[in-house]
C-alpha cells in the first residue's frame, strides 16, 4: 500500500515517463482503481500491489507497442475479460477438484479432445 508520490517515485527511473497528470488520467479512465474513500484528491489515493503491477503493465504496453489511449482502453478491456475468464475457470476447476475421484474420472473421460 503506497501513496501517489511513492508510486511516481518508483516509476521515475523507467523510461515510461509517468507523471502525476498522466496517472490521474488513468485513474479517471478507471484503468487504475486506487482506494480513495470516494475522494478525488490524488493525495488521498492508496495504491495496492495489484494497482502498482497494473501501472507497470500499462507503462510496458504503451512503451513496447506504442499504444494510444483509445487502444489502451480496448487492450485493458480484453485483458480484464481474459483474467476474469481465468478466474472463473479456476473456480470451476477447484469445484471439480473437490469432487470424489470417480466423478473427476468421469468428467475427464467426458471432456472432448481439444480442437474438436
Partner 1 sequence: MATQTPYEVLGVKKDASADDIRKAYRNLAKQFHPDLNPGKPAAEARFKDISSAYDLLSDPEKRARYDRGEIDESGAERPRYSYRPHAEGAQGWKYQPEGEFDAGDLDDLFAMFGRGGGARGTGRPGEGLQMPGADRHFSLTIDFVTAATGGKQRLALSPEEWLDVTIPPGIEEGQVLRLKGKGGPGFGGGPPGDALIEIHIEPHPWFRREGDDIHMELPVSLAEAVLGARVPVASLTGPVTMTIPKGSDTGTQLRLRGKGIHRKRRGAETTGDQYVTLKVVIGASGDPELAKFLEDWAKKHPTDPRRDMFVSTTGGAAAA
Residues near partner 1, by CB under 8 A:
13-15, 33, 48-50, 52-54, 56-57, 60, 63-64, 77, 79-81, 83-88, 90-92
CA distances 42 to 6, 28, 46, 72, 77, Å, are: 12, 11, 9, 22, 24
Distance between CA 77 and CA 79 in Å, rounded?
5
CB of 108 to partner 1, least distance (A): 16
| CA 31/CA 34 separation, integer angstroms | 10
For partner 1, which is the closer residue by CB, 13 or 115? 13
Cβ distance to partner 1 smaller for residue 40 or 60: 60
**Shortest Å, Cβ 81 to partner 1:** 6
Q: Select 20 or 78, whichever has its Cβ closest to partner 1.
A: 78
Separation of alpha carbons 99 and 7, rounded Å: 44
Q: How far is the CB of 31 from partner 1 (least distance, A)?
A: 9
Amino acid at each position: 500500500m503506497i501513496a501517489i508520490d511513492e508510486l511516481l517515485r518508483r516509476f521515475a527511473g523507467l523510461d515510461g515517463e509517468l507523471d502525476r497528470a498522466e496517472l490521474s488520467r488513468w485513474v479517471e479512465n478507471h484503468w487504475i482503481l486506487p482506494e480513495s474513500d470516494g475522494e478525488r484528491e490524488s493525495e488521498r489515493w492508496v495504491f495496492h500491489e495489484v494497482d502498482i503491477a497494473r501501472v507497470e503493465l500499462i507503462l510496458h504496453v504503451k512503451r513496447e507497442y506504442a499504444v494510444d489511449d483509445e487502444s489502451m482502453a480496448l487492450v485493458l478491456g480484453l485483458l480484464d475479460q481474459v483474467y476474469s475468464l481465468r478466474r472463473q475457470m479456476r473456480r470451476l476447476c477447484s469445484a471439480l477438484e473437490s469432487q470424489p475421484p470417480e466423478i473427476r474420472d468421469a468428467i475427464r473421460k467426458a471432456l472432448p479432445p481439444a480442437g474438436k
